[in-house]
Structure 1
Amino acid sequence: MADVRRWGWQDTAACRGEDLVLFFGPDGERQPEREIRERKAKEICAACPVRTDCLDYAISRPEKYGTWGGLNEDERASERRRRMRRANLHRGVA
């Protein structure tokens, strides 16, 4: 059974109750529409009290789709690599 406390952050997420399509675009979405949708999702994330928890969750999974913690898929991949490099430096791994 999952530890309910680990998921508690979702209860206060700013996106709670929003249309999921805003955070997970439809199949076949064109670039101009995607940019508009992601910008709107990121505006909600920017004011979210649990943005960091959400991003940490998505990076630890790794979530392949959607806007999580204010970052899209490509941005999360970059953040994941950055965190790995930083962790390796702290451990003394080149």
Structure 2
Amino acid sequence: MTFPPTPHHIWPSRWFDRAACASQPRDLFFPQSRTHERRSTPVALDVCGQCPVRDACLSHALATPERFGIWGGTTAAQRGWDKYGRPQRNPYGRIP
């Protein structure tokens, strides 16, 4: 038996299903080395800049909190985390 598709007003799509990063390689947003991070971060931030769910992504990253990677157009350092995932005092204030 097959069921008709569920209308969006009953079961709305999840914000991350519409994220611009969904079709990108994961390591672009979660680089595994400092060298890769220097190359990938500007590209990842450009992808975020075009994303229709950037605000929802950033809200998720702050609420969870996501300690690593690029989320909502911000780096972990901009969200207040050091490279080891420990909280740090951000001298530049809150999120740009």
If the length of structure 2 is used for normalisation, what is the TM-score?
Answer: 0.68
2:27 aligned to which of 18, 21, 26: 21
* Deviation by residue 1:49-88 (Cα, 9 ceiling, x = unmatched): 000000000011110110000111000124xx638xxxxx
If the length of structure 1 is used for normalisation, what is the TM-score?
Answer: 0.69
Percent identical among aligned pairs is 35
Report the count of equivalent residues: 74
In the alignment, what sits opposite 1:82? 94
2:47 is equivalent to residue 35 of structure 1: no
Given that 2:31 and 2:69 are in contact with CA atoms closer than 8 Å, whether structure 1 keeps it comes out as yes
Gaps of 5+ in 1: 84-94
Point out 4+ residue stretches in structure 1 off by more than 3 angstroms: none
Q: Which has the larger radius of gyration?
A: 2
Structure with the greater relative contact order (CA < 8 A, sep ≥ 6): 1 or 2? 1
